[in-house]
Amino acid sequence: MKPIALFFGLALVALFGCATAPDVSMLSPSDIQSSCSVTRDDFAKITFVHTIDVTIPLPENVFGNYTFRLLATKKDGGAADYCLVLHSWRTFEMSWAFWQSAADADGKEFTMVQENTRVDSIGVNEVYSVDLPREYLDGIRAAGINLRLYGKNSTADVGLQGNFVDGFLKRCDEVFGASVKAIGKAQPAALGGIENKQQAAEAALAAAELAERKARAEKPAAQEEAERSQKAADLEKLRNTPLFEGTVSIVTSEFKSFEFGFGFWAESAIGGAKLRIFLNGKQPGVLFGGDKADATINIDSRLKGSEQYSSGGHDFRIEWDKPSRLSWSPKIVVWRLN
C-alpha cells in the first residue's frame, strides 16, 4: 500500500470512529491556530501544517460523507504552498464523484487535482486538492468566502470562514518562522514541534501526499481520464460479481439470505417447482409457507429465465436454469446490481 493511501485510509477510520467535528464558526482564530497539527519530515526537509477536518453539508439525495482541511507545506529554503484538501466518501450506489474544478463566490476558478482513490467494503473514497495561493488566502482571512466544488456526479459547497483561514495562517506564520527538529523528537508545540510518534508518522505520509499531488498536476489529461475510466470499470466488475452461483435441490433446499435483506427458497409445490423470493429482510415462516414470500416464480412453467427485484435500497437479479420438468436441481445465480 502506498503511504498516501494508508494516510487517507486511517483518516476515514478516524472520521467515522470519533465524535462529530466542532462547529468552526464558534471557534476564535486563536482556537483554530492552536488546533492545527504540525509535522516535519527531516529527510525530505519539509514541514506540514494542517487544520482539523471540517464536515461539508451533503447535497440532496447523496449518501456518504464529505470533509475538507487546509494544508500548508514548506520545504527548507523554499516558499510555502497552500491548498484545500477534499476527502469524499460515497456509497457504491452513489459511485465516484469525479471532482474536476472549483469556483468561489466572486467567480474565480480553480483546478482540482486527484490525490488518491480507494474502494472499501461499502463505498468509494476520493481525495482531491485545490491549490490556494497565499495572496488569495490573505485576501479572505477577514471576511471568508464560499467555494463550490464541481464533479461529474456531484457538487459540494465549502464555507471558508474568515476565523478559520486567519487561525490557519497565523499557525503557518508561527511554524514556518520557527525551528522544527527531526521526526520523532519531541519539543514544545509552540515551536511547531512534533509531540509524539503518531504525528511523526503522519508527517512521513504527508510527504508522500505532496509528491503525489505534484505528480498528479503534471499528468496529461488523457492519462487522468484513462485512469478514471479504469477505476469505474473495476467498480462495475465488483458490482457484478455473483453473490451466489450453484445448484439447489427443490426437495432439500434451505432458505438462502444475502445482504440488504434479499433471499430465496426453492421448493416442490402443487402446480410445479417454485422459487420463493423474500425482500427487505422478510423470511419464511416456521413451516416454510410460500404465502410469506414477496414473489413466486413457477420454474416448471419457465424452465429458464431471470427476474429483478429491489431490496434494502439495492437492485438484485436472480437467474435460474432447470434442465427439465423432471429435474430436482435447478442452477441458480444471484447478482447484486448496485
Per-residue pLDDT tens over the stretch 140-159: 999 999 999 999 999 999 99
Q: Which grid cell sits at 196?
A: 509524539
How would DSSP label each residue in 160-171?
Answer: E-HHHHHHHHHH
The whole-chain average pLDDT of the chain stands at: 80
Domain range list for the chain: 3-239, 244-336
What are the φ and ψ backbone dihedral angles of 104, each rounded to 5 degrees? -95, 175
Rounded to whole angstroms, how far apart are CA atoms 257 and 253?
12
Mean pLDDT confidence for 284-289 = 60
Q: Which of 32-46, 99-113, 222-236, 270-284 has the lowest mean pLDDT?
A: 222-236
Q: What is the pLDDT of residue 315?
A: 86
**For the whole model, what pTM was predicted?**
0.51
- CA-nearest of 72, 64, 68, 111 to 89 is 64
For the purposes of burial, counting CB atoms within 10 Å of the CB of 243, is it exposed (0-12), middle (13-18) or buried (19 or more)? middle
pLDDT digits (tens, 9 = 90+) for 6-25: 233 334 433 333 345 567 88
Q: What is the pLDDT of residue 199?
A: 52
Mean pLDDT confidence for 188-201 = 42
Q: Which CATH superfamily is domain 3-239 in?
A: Immunoglobulins (2.60.40.10)
Helices 3-17 and 197-218, packing angle to 10 deg: 120
How would DSSP label each residue in 161-227?
Answer: -HHHHHHHHHHHHHHHTS----TT-B--GGGT-B-SHHHHHHHHHHHHHHHHHHHHHHS-HHHHHHH
Q: Is pLDDT of 3 > 50?
A: no
Percent above pLDDT 70 for the chain: 77
